[in-house]
C-alpha cells in the first residue's frame, strides 16, 4: 500500500483536536486484572467488555475523547447488543486505535533496563487491525532515569524499534503514536528526568528520520519532565510545565501535529494541572499539547462502577467529569475550583 501522507496528517490532526484527547483503554490482561482487583471485580472477558462498553457509550465523556487506544481483545469485542465496540467509538465521533507492541522484556547484559518486543509479524498484524477499524497504533518503550541509567544501548535499541514500528504503520496508512516513556517510579529529581528525556527524544527522532517516518503523520506520546514519585521534593506545577515545553522545543520537529502526554502514575488532578499549565503559559507552540491518559481518566469511573450495573450512570458521570477537565486543560482553561464544584 502506498503511503497517503494527507490522510495520515488529517487523522493525526483530528487526534489532537483542541478540547479533546486520547483515552488509553489498552491495558493488557494483566494490567486490567490489577485495576479490577482493586475494586473487587473479577477480570473476566465479559466484565472487561461491560466496563469498556459503558465508557464508550458515555455521551458526555466521549465528547472530549478524540481517539481510543484498544487492546487486541477489545478491538474484536462486541457490545451486549452485538454492536462492535469499534463502531461505538466511531459513533461517538472518536477514532479507534490499537496497541501493537508485545510488552517489555529485560535487555540482555543490562541492569534493570528493557527492550520492547513485537516487530516480528507486525506488518501482517497492521493489515488485520486496519481491517478491524484501527486508524492509529501505539508502541511504548520504557527507560529508567536513575543510577546513571539508561545506557546508550537501551536508548538506541528502543529508538530503532520505535522507528521501525512507525514506518510499518505509515506504510499501512495507520498513524503511529510513538511512546518513549522515562519512568517516574523512582526517587530521581526533576533534573535527572530532564536530562534522560532529552537524550531519549533526540535519539528517537534521529532514528525516525533514518527510517523515513514522516513527522506530519505521527503523534508523540512522551512523559512530562517531572520528579520521581519517591523523590524527597516534588517540583511545582509551573516548573514541570516550563521544563517540559523547553525539552520538547529542543527535540520535536515542528511538523509533528501534536504531543499527547502520558500520565505515568500522576494523580488525576496532577495530570490535569500539568497539562493545563503548559497550555496556559505557552502559546503559539508549533504542535498541539493534549493528553493520552489511562489511569488518570479511568480510576474514578472504575471506583464508582465497582462491577455493579446499577452504578453505571455514576461511573459514566465520573468519566465525563475527568474527560471534561482534561479537555479544558488542552486549552489552558482548567481551574482547580472546577474540581470542587463537581465533588
| Mean pLDDT of the region 175-196 | 96
State how far the alpha carbon of 37 is from the alpha carbons of 65, 128, 178, in Å: 26, 32, 30
- Give the separation between CA 222 and CA 202, rounded to whole angstroms: 12
Q: Which of 102, 221, 308, 335 is catalytic?
A: 221
* pLDDT tens figures, 277-322: 999 999 999 999 999 999 999 999 999 999 999 999 999 999 999 9
pLDDT tens digits, one per residue of 155-181: 999 999 999 999 999 999 999 999 999
Question: Does 221 qualify as catalytic in the annotation?
Answer: yes
pLDDT at 75 exceeding the cut of 90: yes
Segment 128-155 mean pLDDT: 94
For residues 227-246, give the mean pLDDT: 95
Spatial distance between the Cα atoms of 343 and 60, rounded to a whole number of angstroms: 17
Q: 191-230 burial string, b = 16+ CB within 10 Å, else e?
A: ebbbebbbbbbebbbebbeebebbbbbbbbbbbbbbbbee
The predicted-structure confidence for 212-222, as pLDDT tens digits, reads as follows 999 999 999 99
pTM for this prediction: 0.97
Rounded Cα–Cα distance for residues 31 and 331 (Å): 31
Q: What is the CATH number of domain 5-342?
A: 3.20.20.70
Asked if the model's pLDDT at residue 342 lies above 80, the reply is no
Residue at grid coordinates 481518566? 297
Domain ranges of the chain: 5-342
Amino acid at each position: 500500500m502506498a503511503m497517503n501522507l494527507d490522510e495520515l496528517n488529517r487523522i493525526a490532526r483530528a487526534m489532537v483536536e483542541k478540547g479533546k484527547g486520547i483515552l488509553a483503554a489498552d491495558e493488557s490482561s494483566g494490567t486490567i486484572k490489577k485495576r479490577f482487583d482493586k475494586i473487587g471485580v473479577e477480570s473476566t472477558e465479559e466484565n472487561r467488555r461491560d466496563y469498556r462498553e459503558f465508557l464508550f457509550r458515555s455521551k458526555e465523556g466521549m465528547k472530549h475523547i478524540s481517539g481510543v487506544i484498544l487492546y487486541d481483545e477489545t478491538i474484536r469485542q462486541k457490545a451486549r447488543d452485538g454492536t462492535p465496540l469499534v463502531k461505538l467509538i466511531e459513533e461517538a465521533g472518536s477514532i479507534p486505535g490499537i496497541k501493537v507492541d508485545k510488552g517489555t522484556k529485560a535487555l540482555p547484559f543490562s541492569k534493570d533496563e528493557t527492550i520492547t518486543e513485537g516487530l516480528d509479524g507486525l506488518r501482517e498484524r497492521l493489515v488485520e487491525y486496519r481491517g478491524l477499524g484501527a486508524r492509529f497504533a501505539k508502541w511504548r518503550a520504557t527507560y529508567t532515569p536513575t543510577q546513571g541509567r539508561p545506557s546508550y544501548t537501551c536508548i538506541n535499541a528502543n529508538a530503532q524499534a520505535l522507528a521501525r514500528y512507525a514506518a510499518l504503520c505509515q506504510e499501512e496508512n495507520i498513524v503511529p503514536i510513538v511512546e518513549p516513556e522515562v519512568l517516574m517510579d523512582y526517587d530521581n529529581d526533576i533534573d535527572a528526568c530532564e536530562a534522560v528525556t532529552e537524550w531519549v527524544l533526540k535519539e528517537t527522532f534521529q532514528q525516525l528520520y533514518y527510517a523515513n517516518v514522516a513527522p506530519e503523520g505521527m503523534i508523540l506520546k512522551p512523559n512530562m519532565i517531572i520528579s520521581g514519585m519517591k523523590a524527597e521534593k516534588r517540583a511545582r506545577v509551573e516548573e514541570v510545565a516550563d521544563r517540559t515545553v523547553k525539552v520538547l522545543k529542543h527535540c520535536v520537529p515542528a511538523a509533528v501535529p501534536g504531543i499527547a502526554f502520558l500520565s505515568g502514575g500522576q494523580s488525576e488532578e496532577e495530570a490535569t494541572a500539568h497539562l493545563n499549565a503548559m497550555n496556559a503559559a505557552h502559546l503559539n507552540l508549533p504542535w498541539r499539547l493534549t493528553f493520552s491518559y489511562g489511569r488518570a481518566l479511568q480510576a474514578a469511573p472504575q471506583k464508582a462502577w465497582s462491577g455493579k450495573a446499577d452504578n453505571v450512570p455514576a461511573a459514566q458521570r465520573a468519566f465525563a467529569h475527568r474527560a471534561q477537565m482534561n479537555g479544558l486543560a488542552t486549552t489552558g482553561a482548567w481551574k482547580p475550583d472546577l474540581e470542587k464544584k463537581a465533588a
